[in-house]
Amino acid sequence: MPKLALFLILIHFLPFLCTSFSPENPSSRRVLVLLDDLALKSSHSVYFKSLQSRGFELDFKLADDPKIGLQRYGQYLYDGLILFCPTTERFGGSIDLAAILDFVDSGHDLIIAADNNASDLIREIATECGVDFDEDPAAMVIDHTSYAVSETEGDHTLIASDDFIKSNVLLGSEKIEAPVLFQGIGHSLSPANSLVLKVLSASPSAYSANPKSKLSSPPSLTGSAISLVSILQARNNARILISGSLVMFSNRFFRSGVQKAGTPTKHEKSGNEQFLTELSKWVFHERGHLKAVNIQHHKDGEADEPSMYRINDDLVYSVEIYEWSGRSWEPYVADDVQVQFYMMSPYVLKNLSTDKKGRYFTAFKVPDVYGVFQFKVEYQRLGYTSLSLSKQIPVRPYRHNEYERFIPAAYPYYGAAFSMMAGFFIFTAVHLYNK
Amino acid sequence: MRSASEHDKVEGFPVHFALNLVLVSSESRSKVLLAMARSTSKDAQALLHSFRSAYAATPTNLKIIDLYVGFAVFTALIQIAYIAIVGSFPFNAFLSGLLSCIGTAVLAVCLRIQVNRENKEFKDLPPERAFADFVLCNLVLHLVIMNFLG
């Protein structure tokens, strides 16, 4: 009996387990972490702990573990993937390049860290994401003016970079004071790709070459074109982080002090922890993830949505936009959301004003053109998910009896016609009774 | 470019001579013109005078009809001035207003012709018949006008 009671009680918790994850409330997500070497679990423990403290369940597996898989029976087992396995030539289990690309295409997030002995597979995954690592397998990013000062005279592959992208969404609102330590390979972004962004670029004096051999020809990747850490936000709002250094995630780099060559300030702690933690918040949709709900439009003065507008009507359009904060949907506050009243080209383009509680609204007059229009909101901002809303509505011309009854410009003519009638009456009276 | 006066001075001697001749002839010509103008104005005045005295002899009812025609034409002229200033936006209204004035004037003139006792052509037509025709036509005219006014 008590066992039955216990069972019944526990059954009631099942719905809560099911609601702990849903696309509407992306919390408590499962992330698969593929490693080359299980020692990474301890050598990168600070980074993993920062993820786990935010509610992520990390599943650590070796990259060639034969039992790993991203999906089973058509359902994805994980909500995110972290590839900290730069030397892996082939994944175990059912994971391969196509599986990873499908994973991203279905809207899930990905973090890839390469290193100076990155395998072809990792390079191929990065190329599919629009990021091209340097083809030379032995090349590393070298910077002779922006390296991190250390006691030993190194080969200047350990560089200190503070060339961050300017975005509060990506990197958080707190400024990163200390430069970020980096040691690894650099990549360039394909210029045709409009979805990749450089989050941490190398200084103009950096170049990508083999540190152990003399330079025989000018290096192909130089200067600020080298990106050290990049992000990609796909059109289905999946987010990918690609870093050229695995060791920048390590505890050693998180805790070490840094002094950029040529500057007098020595920072106690490098900016790695703040930089990578804030960036991982963005990658896992804890910042900059927008949703737009409740699109409404109606005539000024009425409350329900008509099926058709007439030209020169006054109408009110409103939409609610929320941003996911990691735990709940918060109202999104911005002053640059615009709505278009569009038919082949926008006839009306207006900024939406907000009541700061997530509701955006505006009022305008329907243009003097009839046809089938759309209310379009196209909102693409750096670091935010793109909003592409569209609602179709027809606009009709005036009905026959909706024109003004008496045209003011024609009043003289009305007056003339009526005065002729009056004159006729008066004349007939005078003519008849005149002797 | 040399100015016109300079040009004249260069051509100098023969032009002056020609001008003198022209001036002399133009003097006499202007005298002739003046005489002609004076005579035409005198004729016009005589014409007006004779017209006024003849008109005073017309019967009163015809004068009333003339007044009515004048009123109609005046209204038509006002409308033409208005459309010249403002433009022809409700063109149907303009046509309707103008046509009412012109139609009224035409029908009144027809009435005057038929009612005038000195008119040999309509000697046998009773003036009541003429008036009845006038009223009927005006009714039709105003019906059409009101329809077209819009």
Per-residue pLDDT 10s for chain B (150 aa) are 454 445 545 555 555 665 666 666 777 888 888 888 888 888 999 999 999 988 888 888 889 999 999 999 999 999 999 999 998 888 999 999 999 999 999 999 999 999 988 888 888 889 889 999 999 999 999 999 999 998
pLDDT class of A223 with cuts at 50, 70, 90: confident
pLDDT of residue A156: 85
Per-residue pLDDT of A117-138, as tens digits, reads: 888 999 999 999 889 988 888 8
* Residue B144 parent element (H or E): helix B127-149
Q: For residue A364, which of A387, A343, A338, A398 has the smallest C-alpha distance?
A: A338
pLDDT, position B38 = 85
Return the amino acid letter for A377: V
Q: Are A424 and B138 in contact (CB under 8 A)?
A: yes
In this prediction, the answer to ipTM > 0.90 reads: no
* Interchain CB distance below 8 Å, B93 and A424: no
Q: For position A13, what pLDDT does the model report?
A: 57
Q: Is the sign of the CA dihedral A245, A171, A39, A240 positive or negative?
A: negative
- Residue B86: list chain A partners with CB under 8 A: 409
Q: What would the pLDDT profile of A51-107 be if each residue is shown by its tens digit? A: 999 889 999 999 888 888 888 888 899 999 999 999 988 888 888 899 999 999 999
Could you give the CA distance from residue A385 to residue A292 in angstroms, rounded to a whole number? 11
List the one residue out of A316, A313, A295 whose CA is nearest residue A392.
A295
CB contact under 8 A, B82 and A412: yes
Whether residues B108 and A427 touch (CB distance < 8 A) is answered with: yes
Q: Which residues of B touch A403 (CB under 8 A)?
A: none
3-state helix, strand, coil in chain B (%, to 5): 85, 0, 15
| Residue among A104, A105, A102, A93 nearest A34 (CA) | A93
Residues of A with CB below 8 A from B78's CB? 412, 416
Instruction: Answer whether B101 sits within 8 Å of A420, measured CB to CB.
Output: yes
Give ∠ CA A424-A426-A428 in degrees, rounded to 5: 65
What average pLDDT score do residues A421-431 get? 94
**Gap between the Cα atoms of B73 and A254, Å rounded:** 101
Residue A410 with chain B: CB contacts under 8 Å: 89-90, 93-94, 150
Cβ partners under 8 Å of residue B58, min gap 6: none
CA distances from A403 to A208, A281, A335, A337 (A): 73, 59, 38, 36
Q: Which of A427, A432, A435 to mutate to test the interface with B (most CBs of B within 10 A)?
A: A427
Indicate the residue of B90, B93, B138 with minimum beta-carbon distance to A424: B138
Residues on A contacting B at a C-beta cutoff of 8 Å: 407, 409-410, 412-417, 419-421, 423-424, 427-428, 430-432, 434
Q: Collapsing DSSP states into helix, strand and coil, what is residue A345?
A: strand
Question: Topology of domain A289-400, per CATH?
Answer: Immunoglobulin-like (2.60.40)
What's the fold here for domain A18-283?
Answer: Rossmann fold (3.40.50)
Task: Tell me which DSSP letter residue A224 carries.
Answer: G
Rounded Cα distance between A147 and B138, Å, is 105
